Amino acid sequence: SYQSRNEVLLGCFEIDYRLLGDMLSANQLLFWCNSVVNKNSAYDAMRKIMKKIFSLYFEKGGQTEIIRQSMYYQLLEILTENFFVQSGDKRLEGERTHDEERISEIINYIHSNYRRKISLNELSEHLFLSVPYLSKYIKKQLGMNFLDYLNNIRLFHAVDDLLYSSQPLTAIAMDNGFANTAAFTEVFKKVYNMTPSEYRQQMRVSSEKNQNADHDEQKRLVERKITEY
């Protein structure tokens, strides 16, 4: 997050954790990227690419989309080449406690593997910990048990698919690690008190109502600010 007393133009880059993990063949992704405390010429290269992305973000047609997509990967290349570190990196000494490192590894592992069938037993073998100990540890650190946390992650991504894709419920359930549509619906109803199909329909109706002139004007204002910047 970022706060300022002055007007700020803030750009957010979201990186697909699973996709990047697959590319790097890594279950745990950790980056040391802080331009305030660390001086590195790679920051200037990243800033340069980010500015190019912003300048092309609202352009349509021609090769613009290809150019923009290539810049995303250039940004990833600089990030992974200069700031990707292992959990035992000396730069992290004194920065994180043993518990913080362990819970980070647990969360990273779940985020990297939520799409497939994983279990607490598998995670315990990965961490060389007993199942009872790990179960209590996760409950204490995350405030919920392993399965609930795993289902929350799956549900988080499934909701995105519900809102921003036209995939059928079966595909959404399977793509996000649920055994079947029934399991997906059961978990979904516990959180949203309605079925996934009911939620999708309700959100689509709400979204259509919000597509008004004020929204379009706000979008044009943002586009103009980015172009001027």
pLDDT in tens, the chain (229 residues): 678 888 888 888 888 877 888 888 776 777 888 888 778 889 999 999 998 998 888 887 778 889 999 999 999 999 999 888 765 555 555 556 777 778 888 988 888 889 999 999 999 998 899 999 999 999 999 899 999 999 999 999 999 899 888 899 999 999 999 999 999 999 999 999 999 999 998 888 766 655 555 667 777 887 888 777 7
Paired tokens of 203: 């959100």
Which residue in this structure is represented by tokens 């055994």?
179
d(CA 217, CA 209): 15
- Containing 192, the helix (H) or strand (E) segment is helix 181-192
d(CA 76, CA 20): 9
Q: At what angle do helices 17-24 and 98-113 cross, to 10 degrees?
A: 90
* 28: Cα separation from own chain's centroid: 14
d(CA 187, CA 206): 23
Tell whether pTM > 0.75.
no
d(CA 74, CA 226): 21
- Containing 154, the helix (H) or strand (E) segment is helix 146-164
Compute, in degrees rounded to 10, the torsion defined by CA atoms 110, 149, 83, 37. -160
